[in-house]
Amino acid sequence: MLDKQAPPIYKTSYNLTLAIIRLVRDCDNDYRMTLGQTLQTRVLLLQIAIYQINEKEDKSSAIQVALNHIFFIKMMLRLFLDINLIKLEVNIALNILSEEVIKQLQGWKNSLKKKS
């Protein structure tokens, strides 16, 4: 569990990561090893990208990398819904978390633009 003092983006992205790992764990074997593995890898890359933003000099491009990961995740979630791997309610819950991550990343990016 993350520290209560961690910025909201860390908490939200961590919750999304946990939810997706649990989703993939419960997938049928055929999908777990293909689409599920791709989704799980991408959400882990998102988590890493978010943690690396503060380490990069060019934070704006680092944020864009994280945004690219989250948009890919949203596309994969839509695919999972369309091929009936997840229920609509699960898709909605995961998309709410995804949108919150996007909102926070965009806010971070806008904050950097104002400072420039």
The pLDDT of residue 113: 86
Is residue 1 scored above 60 in pLDDT?
A: no
Identify the structural domains of the chain with CATH numbers, from first to last.
Answer: 8-109 (1.20.1440.60)
| Alpha-helical runs (H) found in 26-87 | 29-31, 37-52, 59-82
For the whole model, what pTM was predicted?
A: 0.90
Residues 6 or more apart whose Cβ sits within 8 Å of residue 98: 16, 70, 73, 74, 77
Position 84 confidence tier, pLDDT thresholds 50, 70, 90: very high
CA 40 from centroid of its chain's CA atoms: 10
The pLDDT of residue 3: 58
Condensed to tens digits (0 to 9), the pLDDT of residues 52-67 reads 998 888 999 999 999 9
Residues 6 or more apart whose Cβ sits within 8 Å of residue 88: 81
75: helix, coil or strand? Answer: helix
The pLDDT of residue 62: 94
The pLDDT of residue 112: 87
